[in-house]
Structure 1
Amino acid sequence: MTTILIIDDEYLIADILSFALEDEGFHTVVAGSGAKALDLLERDRPDLIITDFMMPGMTGLELAETVKSLAAHRSTPIMLMSGAQAYMGTERPDLFAVVIEKPFDIDQVIEKIHALFGPRD
């Protein structure tokens, strides 16, 4: 089962994403900060990371740089979901496989995730 780590300090957004992705058959893990997400990386070994940009303590950009510096997670795709800072993600294709602007359309998010992992069986 594909595991997706969702990082957003807005718990309502994280919960909406989690419920929608679980309905699609994905396993989700939620973290409210970049630091918590880094703690979960080794335990949960996510196949995809979805992160917000603006979070206290660590931005989504800083999180992505840290994740990509870890040999075990260098190839883990990261999706950035952001409002005003989305352009920063598009400028860093080395870090972000997908950039989605907030407010987002959940169907678009699901479509992008399926595109990353190929058709479902």
Structure 2
Amino acid sequence: MTTILIVDDEYLIAEILSFALEDEGFLTVTAGTAQKALTILDRERPGLIITDYMMPGMNGMEFAAAVRENPQFSTIPIVLMSGAQAHLGSARPELFTKVFEKPFEIEAMVESVKKLLNQ
């Protein structure tokens, strides 16, 4: 079973995504900050990461860059979800496999995750 790491400081968004993905058979782990997510990576070994852009401390772009710098995690698909900053993620395809603008359709997110994981 594939684990998906969801990184968002908005608890409700993380929980809704988590429930939707678990309904499709995925395991999910959530983190409220990018710093916490970096500590979770080694333990959970996710097959995919979904991250917000605007978060306290480290933003989604800085988080994705930190993930990409680690050879163990450099090929993990990273999906960015953001409101006003989605265009910044779209301009960085080396960091983000897919970009969703908030608000997004949960079904579209789930379908993209399934495609990215070949499921």
- TM-score, structure 1 normalization: 0.97
Matched position secondary structure for 1:108: helix
Alignment of 1:39-50 (within 5 A): 39-50=39-50
Matched residue type, 1:72 = Q
Q: Which runs of 4+ in 1 moved over 2 A?
A: none
Q: CA deviation at 1:85?
A: 0.2
Supply the distance in 1 between the matched residues of 2:10 and 2:97 (Cα, whole angstroms): 22
- What's 2:66 paired with? 66
Deviations 1:16-53 (A, max 9, x none): 00001000000000000000000100000000000000
* Structure 1: gaps of 5 or more residues: none
What is the letter of the counterpart of residue 107 of structure 2? Answer: D
Q: How large is the Cα RMSD of the aligned pairs?
A: 0.5
Equivalence for 1:99: 99
Aligned to 2:78: 78
Structure 2, unpaired ranges of 5+: none
Q: Does 1:88 align with 2:88?
A: yes
Aligned equivalent of 1:53: 53
Q: Sequence identity, in percent?
A: 60
Q: Secondary structure at the match of 2:100?
A: strand
Count how many residue pairs are aligned between Structure 1 and Structure 2: 119
**Tell me, what secondary structure is at the counterpart of 1:49?**
strand
Deviation at 1:118, TM superposition (A): 1.6
